Amino acid sequence: MTTTATTTATTSAAATTTTTAATPTTPLPLVLAGARGHGRWHLDNIRRLQAEGLVRLAGICELTPLTEAELPEGIGTPAQSADFGALLDATGARIAVICTPIPTHTELALAAARRGVHLLLEKPPAPSYAEFRRMADGVAAAGVACQIGFQSLGSHAVPAIRELIDQGAIGRVAGVGGAGAWARDEAYYRRAPWAGRRRLNGVDVVDGVLTNPLAHATATALALVGTTGAGDVTGIETELWRANAVESDDTSCVRVTTARGPVTIAATLCAERPDEPYVLVHGGSGRITFWYKQDRVLVQRAGHGPEELHFGRTDLLENLVAHLTAGAELLVPPASTDAFMRVVEAVRTAPDPEPLPAGAWRTLPGERRRVVPGVDGLVAAAADTLSLYSELGAPWAPSKEVTAR
């Protein structure tokens, strides 16, 4: 039996590429748009940075104000308003964190940019490539900084893996796979009117498994091989399916053709046994597995024993503050998500997801969620072989039905 060597890589070449925010003389005033749902995570993170003297939560934009009980202890009493622009004006905010429904991202980002307010914009940055370009071009014209909220790209593992690839540690890259086997119950799709929708009131939403809950797998896989620009993508194939009674896909895969080989991502929200998502870089003489939520990397290569590495990560809001106060390089500017947005566009314009046959899924007793038997293995096999579900013999995808772009 081979023993896996474990190395803790808290100080690495990757870590030296980021800069810790210099404590400003006066904490930067900040407005959070969208403080419920995932916004609660941002509230806690803002509280942490506020305690360090980096930011000050000056305002919260919500349709219904947060109650005192909903505000984290120590966060203070920020101004609250449903009018984002007025709140920015009244508070003199330097930074806006936008964690609102996907279709609102572009307008809110541009409203902040017009006021000279810098941005942390949650992923996906927009529901279509056209809206993304309108947002990115408008932000650039306003001269404000914009960070896209792919937290996995703040991991110090990302530049470390790129360095291993560039050094030829696993030989010539043959492609990248990504696997995400998650579970979401019926309540997940009732959390908001836009949840699980492709469109709402004639407006694009594109809240599918590949573009929202497991968007990090797609963006991280593309980033590891330097496929960040729209021009780096030469083709996209999609297979979109749904077991749940929703519009968007919940069990899907995509294969992106790039100059450095195919990037295939398989994802489901109907896993039998939910597990940590990962990205797998295939090389001619080895492979690198990256569990991006854990900042954990496994390097397997010819002539070496397996090596497990653990990395730190730079918080993206903290990096934005460092950019504004100390000139640090932004980790995830809009330009670095251009290729990801090509994938979003391919999903948006693909035929609506096919419902899985009734016999292909079942409801777990007591959990109120649907599972697709065998999908966990299919997700892993897709990442391992860079194949689509239809090519792996999925019984509910008997023929290859893909959309090339």
How is 90-129 classified by DSSP, letter by letter? HHT-SEEEE-S-GGGHHHHHHHHHHTT-EEEEPSSS-SSH
Whole-angstrom distance, CA of residue 188 vs CA of residue 158: 30
pLDDT of residue 21: 57
What angle do the packed helices 338-349 and 129-142 form, to 10 degrees? Answer: 150
**Dmax (CA) of the chain:** 64
pLDDT of residue 366: 87
Long-range contacts of 70-79 (CB under 8 A, 24+ apart): 70/35, 70/36, 71/43, 72/43, 72/44, 72/47, 74/47, 74/50, 75/43, 75/46, 75/47, 75/50, 76/50
Other CB atoms within 10 Å distance of the CB of residue 315: 17
pTM: 0.92
How far, CA to CA in Å, does 16 sit from each of 11, 19, 135, 333?
8, 7, 31, 19
Other CB atoms within 10 Å distance of the CB of residue 191: 12
pLDDT in tens, the chain (405 residues): 333 333 333 333 333 334 455 566 799 999 999 999 999 999 999 999 999 999 999 999 999 999 999 999 999 999 999 999 999 999 999 999 999 999 999 999 999 999 999 999 999 999 999 999 999 999 999 999 999 999 999 999 999 999 999 999 999 999 999 999 999 999 999 999 999 999 999 999 999 999 999 999 999 999 999 999 999 999 999 999 999 999 999 999 999 999 889 999 999 999 999 999 999 999 999 999 999 999 999 999 999 999 999 999 999 999 999 999 999 999 999 999 999 999 999 999 999 999 999 999 999 988 999 999 999 999 999 999 999 999 999 999 976 544 444
Which string of DSSP letters, residue by residue, matches 156-195? THHHHHHHHHHTTTT-SEEEEEEEEE-B--GGGGGSSTTT
Whole-angstrom distance, CA of residue 117 vs CA of residue 94: 5
pLDDT of residue 365: 84
**Shortest CA distance to 317 belongs to which of 31, 91, 35, 49?**
49
CB 96 within 8 A of CB 89: no
Q: Is 63 exposed, middle or buried (0-12, 13-18, 19+ CB in 10 A)?
A: exposed
Q: Which tokens is 195 given?
A: 């949840």
Q: Which tokens is 219 given?
A: 């963006």
Half-sphere CA count of 203, side-chain side, radius 13 A: 14
Q: Are strands 296-301 and 307-311 parallel, antiparallel or unpaired?
A: antiparallel
Q: Which residue has the tokens 């964190």?
A: 97
Which region holds residue 84: left if phi is over 0, alpha if psi is between -120 and 50, else beta? alpha
pLDDT of residue 266: 98
pLDDT of residue 22: 58
